[in-house]
Amino acid sequence: MKERPNPTTVLLRNGDVHSPADPFATAMVVERGHIAWVGSEGAADSFADGVDEVVDLDGALVTPAFTDAHVHTTATGLALTGLDLTGTATLAEALGRVRAHAAARPADRILIGHGWDADRWPERRPPSRAELDEAAGGRPLYLTRADVHSAVVTTALLDLVPNLRELSGFSADGPLTDAAHHAVRTAAHAAVTPAQRTEAQRAALARAASLGIGSVHECAGPRISGEEDLTGLLRLAAEEPGPRVVGYWAEAVASAKDAARIRELGAVGAAGDLFVDGSLGSHTACLHEPYADAPHTTGTAHLDAAGVAAHVAACTEAGLQAGFHAIGDAALTAVVEGVRAASAKVGQDRVRAARHRIEHAEMLTPEHIAAFAEFALTASVQPAFDAAWGGEDGMYAARLGRERARTLNPYAALLRAGVPLALGSDSPVTPLDPWGTVRAAAFHRTPEHRVSVRAAFTAHTRGGWRAIGRDDAGVLVPGAPADYAVWEAGELVVQVPDTRVANWSTDPRSGTPGLPDLTPGGQLPVCVRTVVGGRTVHERPNE
């Protein structure tokens, strides 16, 4: 990735600078798009006359900018600018929003919405096709479930996809999954105009910047968005100020020619949502044992161990990062067995050096975790999933039963084993919300899976950079890219998972840099400014 030019040399002072270079730092100098110095207020005096700009932080907190390691940018923007059903309390409310959106967008060729979750509605069912036809006024409508692995559609959209009824996952009146869902998604996205797509991408990147996010990993692919969507997004990010965009293209690689094509698209890896399975919410995550609330199914397998092995071996030999979407325990077993087979073919050292990554990795066993550590696989995970669907009475428990649900998203065990973590949102599945993501990891609904705020924060800043092979970024030390955010935050503290941690680590004299108090129920930090490569990409308006 190219660094963005920095027009000025800036001294920031009179604040709190979160840096391992100096745990008590109050000032920082940025020069030519990189961190030049971090230190104390007294030492800052010597820099004041030699810089182009001095910023008085007035007690604000400066941290590395966040990296959201799993985003679908256009879909996020469409939800921000269009029909978002997230949080609807009833089926009737959802249908009402569809009617209002259809009336407000009379010129759109297709209506696209996201976020319904029938498990949260008293009706306990998704909208029927007839209800959607009426609410949309007979127009094409594509409406994804909260997990984006199934969708309900109108008859007018069905009519745009030849032979749809013959594809796996088709339902005469219920949500579409598997191949049928992928087919209608392709048709829906094809109907989005270039202007609509660019509007959505700008909206998503602007929201990310306003939340202190300096980089996003775009998880694109032929079954998700399309080549024009990815290349257009990368072009937009290169031409306009905003967060950095790192692109992934989820297509299987079998040869050096395939790998070259991935690079030609501008992607850094054949990874992201290369599906090994689906999702728990849509009963398509692949399990070893049947679902508790659907005992007739164990989900859907899209790739087996042999397919995983072929992809990992080809990518490793081409010097390309590989990766997969894997949620269920059977899917993760296929990933581990496939990576092991690839390692036997091309060499374990080469596999480890490639830093292949697994998205979601929710239903891990101790054996899976050990294999992740053995092969240096990055776990790209979304703590907000647990916040939304975990707990004794959440969706996970409904799908799997409480005993299996308690095993999901074992972040503490991953860190103990030395598995690299990169945190993200999978937006629009869960919203862009970096401090909320850190809070969700630190206050996991299953206490034994909790990690410290500091560990979660590191995984959401430096972890995203490490996931793309950059060990020199995501931290405020001299020489690192000047990607940072300025926050209004309360008292800084050191929060740990439980009181068994030695008191000394939370004592200010220990030299452990503090972070905002993220105790649930409290206010999260507010972003004042976001800077990428020394260039301001968001500044909160004066109030």
Q: Is 526 helix (H, G, I), strand (E, B) or coil?
A: strand
On the 0-12 / 13-18 / 19+ scale of CB atoms within 10 A, 520 is exposed
CA distance linking residue 27 with residue 221, whole number of Å: 42
CATH topology classification for 73-191? Diaminopimelate Epimerase; Chain A, domain 1 (3.10.310)
For residue 371, which amino acid is it?
A
> Taking a C-beta distance cutoff of 8 angstroms, is the pair 60, 528 a contact?
yes
Rounded to a whole number, what is the distance in angstroms from the first to the last CA of the chain? 36
- In this structure, what are the phi and psi dihedrals at residue 259, rounded to the nearest 5 degrees? -65, -40
> Taking a C-beta distance cutoff of 8 angstroms, is the pair 172, 206 a contact?
no
- In this structure, what are the phi and psi dihedrals at residue 506, rounded to the nearest 5 degrees? -100, 0
Which tokens in the block code for residue 429?
A: 């599945």
> Taking a C-beta distance cutoff of 8 angstroms, is the pair 25, 39 a contact?
yes
Q: Collect the ranges in the chain with pLDDT lower than 50.
A: 1-4, 499-507, 509
- Nearest alpha carbon to residue 328 among 309, 301, 295: 301
> Taking a C-beta distance cutoff of 8 angstroms, is the pair 359, 345 a contact?
no
CA distance linking residue 530 with residue 538, whole number of Å: 5
Neighbours of 225 (CB within 10 A): 26
> Taking a C-beta distance cutoff of 8 angstroms, is the pair 400, 345 a contact?
no
pLDDT on residue 108: 86
CA distance linking residue 446 with residue 497, whole number of Å: 11
Which tokens in the block code for residue 70?
A: 């799993």
Per-residue pLDDT tens over the stretch 288-325: 999 999 999 999 999 999 999 999 999 999 999 999 99
Per-residue pLDDT tens over the stretch 226-254: 899 999 999 999 999 999 999 999 999 99
Q: What architecture is the 9-64+476-489+525-539 domain classified under in CATH?
A: Roll (2.30)
Rg (CA), the chain: 23
Domain ranges of the chain: 9-64+476-489+525-539, 73-191
pLDDT on residue 503: 39
> Taking a C-beta distance cutoff of 8 angstroms, is the pair 439, 459 a contact?
no
Which tokens in the block code for residue 331?
A: 């899917």
For residue 62, which amino acid is it?
V
Neighbours of 371 (CB within 10 A): 22
Which residues lie closer than 8 Å to 341 by C-beta, 6 or more apart? 305, 306, 308, 309, 313
CA 292 to chain centre: 28
CA distance linking residue 357 with residue 360, whole number of Å: 10
> Taking a C-beta distance cutoff of 8 angstroms, is the pair 368, 339 a contact?
no
Q: Which single residue is written with the structure tokens 């740990």?
A: 496
Which residues lie closer than 8 Å to 430 by C-beta, 6 or more apart? 382, 384, 385, 387, 388
- Nearest alpha carbon to residue 124 among 395, 388, 401, 389: 395
Which residues lie closer than 8 Å to 522 by C-beta, 6 or more apart? 490
